[in-house]
Amino acid sequence: ILNVEQSPQSLHVQEGDSTNFTCSFPSSNFYALHWYRWETAKSPEALFVMTLNGDEKKKGRISATLNTKEGYSYLYIKGSQPEDSATYLCAFSGAGSYQLTFGKGTKLSVIP
Amino acid sequence: NAGVMQNPRHLVRRRGQEARLRCSPMKGHSHVYWYRQLPEEGLKFMVYLQKENIIDESGMPKERFSAEFPKEGPSILRIQQVVRGDSAAYFCASSVLQGMGQSNEKLFFGSGTQLSVL
């Protein structure tokens, strides 16, 4: 059974603070690591798909890094805004597999 | 370009009834995935389908659950003789290319169907 762990489970930050959270995943048979943003009452929306060790991706104030050798990825949000409030999911894709294995997510609340 | 459409949004069934959940993928997408989220759990893979083919159903319970993606029309997830433990949010996603361990394609998700079994 694949284990994808995300920490912390939830996080409250003040508007303007920068924050980061972690996704850990199996380091063997790795193919890709996905990050999704899931706002309440909406559908999960893809942020990044990363495949290479050392990969760094950026989208506006959000960025992510990937370490496949040790099996972790960090998601960073610079200068958090209330509209960043959402649950952030990471998902592991193994080589040759058709499925994503999701973590339980980190729920971010940005306080104005 | 309409996103992934799921209906109904909410479905209430009594124990023993059948539940049918529908999913229309994004235009141009021929790969459909169903995921389930039980209370306090993450999204769990159920089944991956292409048009008229089930490719991977390793996440699907062996009994009472079935899925199809016909040549014409939406993908259907069917749960027969529902039990209380089937209460969950069921999400459909689609992609352009086959995934996931063969491409770095991202998934496009629908808004889900919340199934409640009384």
- Provide the pLDDT confidence category of residue B99 given band limits of 50, 70 and 90: low
Tokens 């942020």 -> residue? A47
Which chain B positions have a beta carbon within 8 Å of A33's beta carbon? none
Strands (E), chain B: 5-7, 10-13, 19-24, 31-37, 43-50, 53-56, 65-68, 75-79, 88-95, 108-109, 113-117
How does pLDDT run across B35-71, given as a tens digit for each residue? 999 888 889 999 999 988 999 999 999 999 999 999 9
* B89-to-A40, A59, A91, B38, B50 alpha-carbon distances in Å: 13, 29, 18, 7, 22
Q: Which of A50-54, B69-73, B76-80 has the highest mean pLDDT?
A: B76-80
Q: 3-state SS string over B21-54?
A: EEEECCCCCCEEEEEEECCCCCEEEEEEEECCEE
CB contact (8 A) between residue A98 and residue B44: no
Q: Which residue of A has its CA nearest to B43?
A: A102
Residue B28: the pLDDT is: 86
Is residue A45 within a helix (H) or strand (E), and if so which, with residue range? strand A45-50
Q: Which residue of A has its CA nearest to B54?
A: A98
Residue A98: the pLDDT is: 86
Torsion, Cα A106 A91 B89 A87, to 10 degrees, reads 20
Q: Nearest-CA distance from A47 to chain B in Å?
A: 9
Q: Nearest-CA distance from A26 to chain B in Å?
A: 14
Residue A74: the pLDDT is: 98
pLDDT at B18 exceeding the cut of 80: yes
Q: Nearest-CA distance from A39 to chain B in Å?
A: 11
CB contact (8 A) between residue A43 and residue B110: yes
pLDDT at A2 exceeding the cut of 90: no
pLDDT at A22 exceeding the cut of 70: yes
Residue B96: the pLDDT is: 83
